Amino acid sequence: MGVNIKMVTCDNNAIAKEISSQVNLKSNIANASDFVNESDSKAKQVVENADRFAQVFPEHKYRM
């Protein structure tokens, strides 16, 4: 149906990797530090290309 599922968690990379593998998500992971201080176009690219996000806090979700 064209829907891309993305996981967002405040957990670290290892936990995000384990959980996402258990629910069959793809392996492209990003941390909040990969997009939070980037330009809008770079942040958009990181968010669109990632399948899961780790170490994300509530304030980072606004940037996403």
**pLDDT per residue over 2-59, tens digit each?**
888 899 999 999 999 899 889 888 888 999 999 999 999 999 999 999 999 999 999 9
Q: What fold is seen in the domain 7-63?
A: Rossmann fold (3.40.50)
Hey, what amino acid is at 45? Q
Query: Is residue 34 a contact partner of residue 11, using CB atoms and an 8 Å limit?
Result: no
3-state secondary structure the chain: CCCCCCEECCCCHHHHHHHHHHCCCCCCEEEHHHCCCCCHHHHHHHHHHCCEEECCCHHHHHHC
Which pLDDT belongs to residue 40?
Answer: 93
Which pLDDT belongs to residue 64?
Answer: 87
Which pLDDT belongs to residue 4?
Answer: 84
The DSSP symbol for 54 reads E
How is the chain split into domains, by residue range? 7-63
Which pLDDT belongs to residue 7?
Answer: 92
